[in-house]
Amino acid sequence: MNEKIEKSDDEWRQELSEAEFSVCRMAGTEPPFSGVYYDHKESGHYLCRCCGALLFSSESKYDSGSGWPSYWQPANDDAITTSEDMAHGMRRVEVRCAACDSHLGHVFPDGPQPTGLRYCINSLSLQFDKG
């Protein structure tokens, strides 16, 4: 993997909207069914809003009914990192962009086969590329 992308909060604030900054840099969560990609069905790739790294493919996207874009696997093994998240009195596994450490969402063990995983991702942390 390449060197991590590191910027100050001020630099990120210049590049992101207030809502994007809240989700991506402060580990916030957009309300369910509010994001542009939760019901998005075009073929292509989902990239990190902050750095443009490839994160997920439309081929692994599915409708989980959760109100957030959901995927059963990342685009590749090096696309994301995970860590335990004990915030809000819950035990969850947080998902971040491996390239810039942007908060993406969480992964749960209730997804479809072949992985059985549900990567529940905030639309605000993504951008879409039809390519």
Q: Give the pLDDT confidence of 52-69 residue by residue, as tens digits.
A: 999 999 999 999 999 999
Residue 3 lies in a domain: no
Residue 75 lies in a domain: yes
Range of the structural domain that residue 66 is part of: 9-129
Residue 1 lies in a domain: no
Cα(78)–Cα(99) distance, integer angstroms = 9
Residue 109 lies in a domain: yes
**Active-site residue, from 24, 50, 97, 120:** 120
Number of domains in the chain: 1
The domain that contains 110 carries what CATH number? 2.170.150.20
- State pLDDT tens for residues 72-107: 999 998 999 998 877 767 778 999 999 999 999 999
Known catalytic residue at 120: yes
Cα(83)–Cα(92) distance, integer angstroms = 8
Q: Give the 3-state secondary structure of residue 83.
A: strand
- The position carrying tokens 């874009």 is 69
Cα(123)–Cα(125) distance, integer angstroms = 5
pTM surpassing 0.95? Answer: no
The first and second tokens of residue 12, run together, are 């990120």
